[in-house]
């Protein structure tokens, strides 16, 4: 079973980011059969995107060096209905119901991004987060990617993006 977790590049724009821009078509060929080439300019956090270790680590691996096999695999889905607070380790473990995570992709379904896209507004007070304790447990579990249908997994309690740094140091990919 395949799950499409993508959204359009221009569905949401972070405050301060340049908008996605598409120009063209351009034709650089001679002859009777023109080509239709477009130029695309986008911030790296537009649409559905994956963050690698370089996201928060200056010496971290860049996303282009991550093997394609890391982007596919068996996923474990957990529904997280809570908004405006961190998901605790106990809540995460309860949602997992003892399903193993080693080498798998964890999909955290919150419905938050659907709400943001529908309203056109990002309410920071409603953003879900992941506690630092839960993030450490995910690192220890051997999960290969953490995905969330929100603008990020960062804890609401941290001041310096400790959840993101922890996941990046462990080489865990973050899909937002």
Tens digit of pLDDT for each residue in 102-118? 999 999 999 888 888 88
Question: Count of CB atoms within 10 A of residue 173's CB?
Answer: 21
pTM: predicted TM-score of the whole model, two decimal places: 0.84
Confidence category of residue 9, pLDDT binned at 50, 70, 90 = confident
Closest CA to 126 of 117, 115, 142: 115
| pLDDT surpassing 90 at residue 90 | yes
| pLDDT surpassing 90 at residue 98 | yes
**H-helix or E-strand spanning residue 136:** helix 132-141
- Those residues whose C-beta lies under 8 Å from the C-beta of residue 90, and which sit 6 or more positions away, are none
Q: For position 13, what pLDDT does the model report?
A: 82
The top-scoring range by mean pLDDT among 3-12, 46-55, 145-154 is 145-154
If one compares 15 and 143, the residue with the highest pLDDT of the two is 143
């Amino acid at each position: 079973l395949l799950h499409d977790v993508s959204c359009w590049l221009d569905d949401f724009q972070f405050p301060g980011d340049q908008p996605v821009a598409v120009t063209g078509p351009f034709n650089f060929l001679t002859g009777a059969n023109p080509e239709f080439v477009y130029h695309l300019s986008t911030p790296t956090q537009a649409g559905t995107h994956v963050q690698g270790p370089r996201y928060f680590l200056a010496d971290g691996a860049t996303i282009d060096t991550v093997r394609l096999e890391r982007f596919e695999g068996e996923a474990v889905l957990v529904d997280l209905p809570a908004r405006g607070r961190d998901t605790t380790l106990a809540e995460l473990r309860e949602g997992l119901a003892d399903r193993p995570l080693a080498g798998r992709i964890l999909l955290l379904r919150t419905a938050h991004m659907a709400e943001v896209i529908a309203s056109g507004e990002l309410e920071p007070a409603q953003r879900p987060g992941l506690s630092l304790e839960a993030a450490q447990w995910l690192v220890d579990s051997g999960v290969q990617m953490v995905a969330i249908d929100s603008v990020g997994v960062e804890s609401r309690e941290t001041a310096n993006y400790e959840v993101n740094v922890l996941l990046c140091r462990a080489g865990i990919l973050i899909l937002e």
